[in-house]
Structures are given as structure tokens and as C-alpha cells.
Amino acid sequence: MSRIGKKAIPVPDAVKLVVRGRTIDVEGPKGKLSWTHRPEVSVSYDEAAKVVTIERSNDQRPVRALHGTTRALIANMVEGCLNGYERRLEVYGVGYGVQVQGGQVVLTVGYSSPRRVAIPPGVTVTIETPQARGESEPARFTVSGPDKQAVGQLAARVRKLRPPEPYKGKGIRYAGEYVRRKVGKAFGAAAM
């Protein structure tokens, strides 16, 4: 039996959960999410105990994997609708910056033209510091929303535009991310 899959998911009072066939709808203070699970597992919700349980149809390896995955995804939906998820990012580099225009994140990260990334529905981007002030003070922004996958995907797509480079540390990185720095070429007396 999957140790993760057999754990019951407690549903807080602030969250409303409805199971309709294979579709699970979760609604809370931070938003609402809907997801359809695979037919190999069954999801039941006990409204009196406010607990969700997941059962699997057999013990084949792919079904065992789906058991834990389904439980984790539903637990993430409940947590996201209750508290939400967020990823903080920092943009390091002289002249680098970030803006939100319409439904897009506009990044100035050293290319000839600004790079634009569409913001998916349900995800919010808030700018804390719009412009980087050299290597010491980065531009900061936060990606947040109820859907853990959408928040992480947008943050990863933005970071992929200009990952941090190891020599000067310029680029986009997650807040608190350690960038291993390298020493550049030696010039002057060492070259003679």
C-alpha cells in the first residue's frame, strides 16, 4: 500500500470540495481549481469528517504510482485554494528589469529587445523592485496563485530566459538560490 496514497486529506472549513464522478472541484479564499483524475483510482469525500480518501483498483505498478500522485495533487489543490503558492524571483544585472504589461511579464535582460512571457489565468505577478541596481540590489518580483503547477511553470519559463551565469552572477534566479561563481581569466603579471 502506498504510504502517501493511503493518508487521508483533511479539508479545512474555509475550503469547499465537491467530487462529481472523476472530477474534483475545490474552492477556497485564494481561488478555485478543478481536476479530473485517472480511472484507475477512486476518490471519495466524507463531508461529515471533512476528509478525502483515495483507493486504487489493483496493485499493478503504474496504478500504485497513480495512487500517491493523485493524493498529492488533491492535497496541493486544497492547500493552494486555502493559502496559495508563490515563487519569488530576482533579476541581477546592470540595466536589467521587469514589468507587467497587460497579461504579460516584460523582462529586459540584456537582449536587443525585451522578452515577453504570457501570464496564465489564475496566476498573479507582483513587482516589488522593478529595476536592478547593479550586482548588489536586484529587481524582485513574485509569481503567485492557487495552482502549484501553473505558478512553478511560469517561474521556470521566466528563469529560463536568462539563467544566472557563473562569472558575474547576472541573470534571473529564485530568491535564496545559490549561484556557484567561477574565477575569470587571469591578466597582467600572471600572463608574462
Taking only the tens place, the pLDDT of each residue in 35-86 is 999 999 999 999 999 999 999 999 999 999 999 999 999 999 999 999 999 9
pLDDT of residue 131: 85
- Topology annotation, domain 85-174: Outer Surface Protein A; domain 3 (3.90.930)
CATH of 9-82, one of 3.90.180.10, 3.40.50.12780, 3.90.930.12, 3.40.50.20: 3.90.930.12
- The residue count of the chain comes to 192
pLDDT of residue 128: 92
Q: pLDDT-based confidence at 137, cuts 50/70/90? A: confident
Q: Is the fold of 9-82 the same as that of 85-174?
A: yes
Rounded Cα distance between 41 and 173, Å, is 38
Taking only the tens place, the pLDDT of each residue in 96-133 is 999 999 999 999 999 999 999 999 999 999 999 888 77
With a CB cutoff of 8 Å and minimum separation 6, the contacts of 100 are 106, 119, 125, 127
Please say whether the beta carbons of 15 and 74 come within 8 A. no
Rounded Cα distance between 77 and 55, Å, is 18
Give the pTM.
0.88
Rounded Cα distance between 162 and 170, Å, is 8
